[in-house]
Chain A
Amino acid sequence: MSLILEIKNAWIRYPQKNALEDVSLRVEEREMLGIFGYNGAGKSTLLKVIIGLKRLDSGSVMVHGLQLTPRALLEIRRKTAYLPQCLDTDIRMPISAWDVAMMGRYGKIGLFKRPSRSDREFVRTVLRQVDADSYANTPFGMLSGGERQRVMIAHALAQEPRLLLMDEPTNSLDLNFTRNLGNIIREAHRRLQLTSIIVSHDAEFLSEICTRILLMRDGRITRNLLPDEFRDDRLVDRHFREALQ
């Protein structure tokens, strides 16, 4: 397996508290990596650094064999899909689920070009794969939380990424939708031979679908665990107790 992501000694400093403190990380191709931690641990910041939405004060990031620089950013972003944590969308927003899924393809299509028939066919296929084709024409704002997440996964898959970054994909979903979403992510990861990094504070969700889990606290990676080790409640409990102290 080759290396798809390497972060070395990453720091983001703020006056009150550092967002990242000397974070180093290596992710191999086809890994399904979970990042677990309490709010403010630096999990979301780490994902934003990988996609170039946040800049490091010091340290380096290598994605898809490319050093993360302004020049390489476009190439990296075309191979990396990112699902942010919070999707603050107006319920009356005049955009359908189909439009949102198709938007995932716009970066690949490029400027001055319209989506072709094959682009439309591709989006239709990914919507079907995530079971979202039945509400493709529904306004995005009117979908439930679970339906929106499926459409956002279709948006990400429409990009044909090699690396998939997901920030709290189970946020505000009930147990049934969470399980369902886990199956969809696992299936897409396997079929498309993706490398996935999932940030979540849902310990059960991560332990069910990830091949490796990192614990983060105060901007630092404090543990690197296998799912079985992670399921050992005492370790996770201790992590949180330490964080609270």
Chain B
Amino acid sequence: MNISIINDPFMQHAILATLLAGVVCPLIGVLVVTMRLSFIGVSLAHAAFAGALLGLILGVNSAIMALIFSVIAAGILGPLADRGDFSPDTAMGVMFTSALGLSFLFLSLIPGPETEALGLLWGGVLTVTQTELGFLAGVTLVTLLTLLLFYKEVCAVLFQREIAESTGIPATTIFYGILLFCGLAITSSLNIIGGMLVFCLIINPAAAAYQLTYRLSTMFGLSVLIGVLSGWLGLIFSCIFNLPTGALIIVTSSAFFLVTITFSPKRKVHFQTIPKDGNYG
């Protein structure tokens, strides 16, 4: 690999895009992983993908359509997950399959060659435009600021929504906010990582960080570190081996997860920790 490639504007865009996606996706990942709603990323990613495809068919900006679809999906998932007679898993499963069905339907309706659609599917970090980069930077900044401003309320909601609500924290609003930001993170990273893979960048770094720490703030930091490293290493491997960047970013983040789960200090918890009164309450 020729190191001078770094001076090319497309590569500088790619480095910046993987940095931003490596920050925003894992931040959202920490929220959904600790709430045990990991599948929500999958459902919203597929909804965003379906929206982007519809955008291509209608000749409308695909990012806007992806955003609309993921926000609508988040708006449907929230109340469905809240219904006592409905498991959140079921709601997310219905949303996932519906979005997948729509994606295939829209894919078949695209006139002419499907190159652009497949680009949305697999992503194209090396072709990221300045507008897309600006959108991603904006979403990353807003997500970071919102998390900093509402950090303690978010922590309370992650621990237990019902208790947070009962102490006067607007837990339902924060929960819907998390879903909305999940949709935003997915939409803004769609062109970089790809519709089929973006949820991996949400889940894998957060799941890896979850294995390593008992502190939530450390988990946020570690998952961002793993996300950014996955992005950059994936980019480097892509240049060396001439393989799709999005897929390599995901493979790298999965490798991080495998390493952390193998060496996790929490792995021993299951086998060694016996609560003092013999139960976990």
Interface residues of A (CB under 8 A from B): 51-53, 74, 77-78, 80-82, 84, 87, 89-96, 99-100, 103-104, 106-109, 111-112, 114-115, 139-140, 142-149, 155, 159, 171-174, 176-177
Q: Are B280 and A114 in contact (CB-based, < 8 A)? A: no
B165, B169, B211, B279: which contacts A53 (Cβ < 8 A)?
B165
The answer to whether B168 and A114 have CB atoms under 8 Å apart is: no
Within B60-83, which residues are at the interface with A (CB < 8 Å)?
none
By a CB distance below 8 angstroms, the chain A residues around B34 are 93-94
Residue pair B281, A77 in contact (C-beta under 8 Å): no
Do residues B280 and A91 form an inter-chain contact, with CB atoms below 8 A? Answer: yes
CB-nearest residue of chain B to A115: B152
Q: Interface size of B by Cβ–Cβ distance < 8 Å?
A: 38
Alpha-carbon separation in the docked complex, A147 to B175 (Å): 28
**Which listed residue (B150, B266, B277) contacts A173, Cβ 8 A?**
B277
7 CB contacts below 8 A, A to B, read: A53-B166, A82-B163, A89-B160, A93-B159, A94-B218, A106-B164, A149-B281
B145-163 CB mask vs A (1 if < 8 Å, else 0) is 0000110110110111011
Q: Are A94 and B162 in contact (CB under 8 A)?
A: no
Picked from A92, A106, A142, A145, the residue with its CB within 8 Å of the CB of B279 is A145
Asked if A94 contacts B214 (CB within 8 A), the reply is yes
Q: Which residues of B contact A177 (CB under 8 A)?
A: 277
Interface centre among B167, B213, B216, by most chain A C-beta atoms within 10 angstroms, is B167
Q: Are A84 and B281 in contact (CB under 8 A)?
A: no
Distance to closest chain B CB from A144 (angstroms): 4
Q: Is the CB of B168 within 8 A of A172?
A: no
Q: How far is the CA of A84 from the CA of B256 in the complex (A)?
A: 37
18 additional contacts, CB 8 Å, given A103-B159, A144-B279, A177-B277? Answer: A51-B166, A74-B168, A77-B165, A87-B160, A91-B280, A94-B218, A95-B214, A99-B159, A103-B167, A106-B156, A106-B169, A109-B152, A139-B214, A142-B273, A143-B275, A144-B280, A146-B276, A148-B281
Q: How far is the CB of B22 from chain A (nearest CB, A)?
A: 20
A145 with B280, Cβ < 8 A, contacts A53-B162, A77-B166, A112-B149 known? yes
Which residue of chain A lies nearest to B149 when distances are taken between CB atoms in the complex? Answer: A112
Which residues of the other chain, B, contact A172 by a CB distance below 8 angstroms?
Answer: 279, 281
What residue in chain B is nearest A113 (Cβ atoms)?
A: B152
Contact with A along B249-281 (1 / 0, CB 8 A): 000000000000000001001100101111111
Task: Tell me if A174 and B149 are in contact (CB < 8 A).
Answer: no
A176 and B266 CA atoms in complex are apart in Å by: 29
Contacts of B163 in A (CB 8 A): 82, 84, 103, 155
A177 CB to nearest B CB, Å: 6
Q: Are the CB atoms of B215 and A107 closer together than 8 Å?
A: no
Residues of A within 8 A of B164 (CB): 103, 106
A139 to B169, CA, bound (A): 23
How far, in Å, is B216 (CB) from chain A's closest CB?
Answer: 5
Tell whether, in the assembled complex, residue B36 and residue A90 are in contact, meaning their CB atoms are under 8 Å apart.
yes
Q: What residues of chain B lie closer than 8 Å to A53, measured between beta carbons?
A: 162, 165-166
Give min CB distance, B234 to chain A, whole Å: 26
Of all chain B residues, the one with the shortest Cβ separation from A109 is B152
**Most chain-A CB neighbours within 10 Å: which of B159, B164, B214, B279?**
B214
